[in-house]
A and B are shown apart, each in its own frame.
Chain A
Amino acid sequence: MTMLTKPPEPGLSARAPRKSPKRGKPSDGFRGIGDLKIALFFIAPAMIGLILFYLVPTIRGIYLSFTEYSILGDPEWIGARNYERIAKDPLFWNALGVTSEYVVINIVLQTALALGLAILMHRVAKSTLIRGALLMPYLMANVIAALLWFWMLDYQIGVINQIIEWTGLPRVAFFGSEQWAIPTQALINTWRHMGYTALLIFAGLQAIPNSVYEAASIDGSKAVSTFWRITLPLLRPVLVLVLVVTVIGSFQVFDTVAVTTAGGPVNATRVLQFYIYQRAFNEQDFGYGSALAVILFLILAIVAFLQMKFLRGNQSDLD
């Protein structure tokens, strides 16, 4: 993030009078207003998009969470009743638990595998073809990937269960059994996303200057301790960014569930996003759905904040 905002600075400071430490002061008024107009002009498209597609829907969503609203008819203000009902709703707590299970399995595996892949890309697999191939699953639409695995892992006709049977083991109800349904979906999405995550980490690896490694090897550091003492600490800002982004994405798992188990068996895969969808779009209870969505929003905001704060994601150890 810091790298993105840095480049414009030299230009600005070159234009601003050297002696005045503050820019845009009255002495510079004429040019300041001109800049403001041009700036507004350039910011406008993004601002309009932000207001129309983010700000207004967010505010309306928060408003709707205090109403009873089926999409036909007008919202009716009911105060905090939706939130009171959510606190007592066993399906909400179930959804929270199920979603957390998904996030933990998905993130731990995905990050570990992606880190490994990134290091392999950095050190071993220099061919563009292999690096590109790692990204292949990510190029597939989520729904397609989910359905392909759904068929391959099917209890009756799935090729993987066929293979399992050949080895003499009993078939596994990957999507049908309550204990397997969430891990299965977490693994599918790990498979789909790890290449992309690896690419992000790989970019971080390339930003670590070679001189640090040279210094380390001169001091006699072995590969393993170089990894733990040099690579990982210097990679921290990138890892934090990756974690924040993937955790948010992981919490929002929906399409895989929607096209395979649709919340079942029983409530084993009724993750938060699917539960929101069910309440809002299937059961026409948009007020309750909005309240659930606001809670998910708050959870994500807190998780992201904690990650940034405690992992010091906005500082680098390179300086």
Chain B
Amino acid sequence: MPVFEIRDKSIDEAELNRKIEENLKERQSDSLAALAAAPGAHSGLAPSVQDIEIRDGLGFLRKLARELPDYKVFGPFKTLRRFVKRQIAIDKAIVYFMHTVTNRLSFLADRLDSLDKRASTPRDTASEIDVPKAGGSVTSPTDPSAPRMRLDALAESPGEPAPAEAARRDTMREDQAHKDLLDYFHFKFNCVHGGTEKEIREKGLAYIEFLRNAGTVLDIGCGRGSFLELLRENGIHAVGIDSNRHMVDVCSRKALDVTCVDASDYLGQQDNNRFGGIFASHVIEHFQGDDLVRFVRLCYDKLAPGGCVILETPNPLSIFVLGGTFYLDVTHVRPVHPDFLKLLLDTIGFKDIRTLPVSPFPEEEKFQLLKGKDKLVQTLNANLEKMNKMFYSHYNYAVIALK
């Protein structure tokens, strides 16, 4: 009787079966050794919770429960049996719970181990200059002069003693762990509050016309790549950058050309006049004043003559945005006023600067106007419209300009 059925005929089933039987035979001849070795392979690990006998006290009852078949159970035994079964279930639950706890503990231990390892490798200067104990079994490094050289190096730089160096590395590691967490958090945040793919694409449609026939478009802070996809569908060559590696992973899975890098670093490394278009949606509100100026200047430098820059950001003219949504993202540094942005672009040398209101506030949620033609109603409506404009203006705006 065959054990397997392989319907893909290009696989040689007979050959596989032969191999299996062969391997089995080999292993059986070696089975005693194998059996002896298998448990031993893990003897270095701490005993797992499953191995700990915690049911000693219940051994007798447990046996009783097992040995009393259903039809023999009557009278007080029935209650006892139910009790024992329940007890067994409970102690199993405890084992399961402890199992989870050990898992987590061993996870923590693993993490600690790997941290220890990482902590010790770059600090070999500190560990290897310890004088080996006489007759100690310290394995000699491949290059015997290495510790000496390190010692010399240390001697030459008395300004940076080993403990300070170690502390600096600890901080770096801590910073990295913190950045990992931040990246993941911001990714989640973007998934929840960053607008659905559909919304982003609908919004993006308005920009496509400005970027057509422009040459390579750079999407700064491309997020999950929705706009890049839209560009691709419209036959526009584009590359993206984002400083969050989770976003970049998502983009890579969509086969988009995206790099994980800081925007200013990336721009600084590019040739001047490289891009036909630069698109940065919800980026500039993350900059301090000076950095914003530098960023816009870099955009100007890297843009080819005639190229188009599009900067989208929350609209501070809407009180709803200012008081509500803007500060939802704590990494927002400050809102950017459209007049400020226009003046900045103008100063740096951009031309044909215009603003475009984006993402209108839903009409049904604004103050509703009254019906009627008398003067009082009209005055009231005019005021309501002013208030609507102030409170519920567009969520975002974009400034579009040419080099």
Partners in one complex: no
Q: Which residues of A contact B (CB under 8 A)?
A: none
Q: Which residues of B contact A (CB under 8 A)?
A: none
